[in-house]
Amino acid sequence: MSKKILAIYYSQTGQLGDIIDNFTAPFVDAGVSVEKVIIQLKNPYPFPWTGKRFFSVMPDCVLSIPGELQPFTLKESSYDLIVLGYQAWFLSPGIPTNTLLHEPAFKAVLKNTPVITITGARNMWINAFERLKKALQKEGAKLVGNISLVDKHSNWISFITIFHWMFNGKKDRLLNIFPVPGVAAEDISNTMVYGTIASSYLSKGNWQGMQEELVKNKAVEIKYNLMFIESKAGRIFSIWANIIAKKKNQTAWLVAFKYYLLIALFIAAPIILLVNAIFFKPFLSKRIKEKKQYYLGVN
Ligand SMILES: Cc1cc2nc3c(=O)[nH]c(=O)nc-3n(C[C@H](O)[C@H](O)[C@H](O)COP(=O)(O)O)c2cc1C
The number of the ligand 1 atom at minimal distance from the alpha carbon of 166 is 31
- Tell which residue, 174, 206, 212, has the closest CA to residue 299: 212
Element holding 97 (H helix, E strand): helix 95-100
Q: Which residues contact 64 (CB under 8 A, 6 or more apart)?
A: 92, 93, 98, 131
Contact 182, 165 (CB under 8 A): yes
The Cα 59–Cα 91 span in angstroms is 11
Question: Is the pLDDT reported for residue 18 higher than 90?
Answer: yes
CA 49 to each of CA 52, 57, 59, 169, 253: distance values in angstroms, whole numbers, following the listed order: 8, 11, 17, 8, 19
Q: What is the pLDDT of residue 1?
A: 74
Residue 289: CB atoms within 10 A of its CB come to: 11
The number of the ligand 1 atom at minimal distance from the alpha carbon of 92 is 8
Tens digits of residue pLDDT in 111-166: 999 999 999 999 999 999 999 999 999 999 999 999 999 999 999 999 999 999 99
The Cα 90–Cα 83 span in angstroms is 22
Contact 152, 181 (CB under 8 A): no
Name the residue of 10, 87, 261 whose CB sits within 8 Å of the most ligand 1 atoms, as the mutation to test its pocket. 87
Q: How confident is the model at residue 245 (pLDDT cuts 50, 70, 90)?
A: very high
Q: What is the pLDDT of residue 192?
A: 98
Pocket of ligand 1 (CB under 6 A): 11-13, 15-16, 54, 57, 87-91, 120-125, 166
Q: What is the pLDDT of residue 293?
A: 98
The Cα 119–Cα 16 span in angstroms is 7
- CA-closest residue to ligand 1 atom 30: 89
CA of 162 to the centre of ligand 1 (A): 8
CA of 74 to the centre of ligand 1 (A): 26
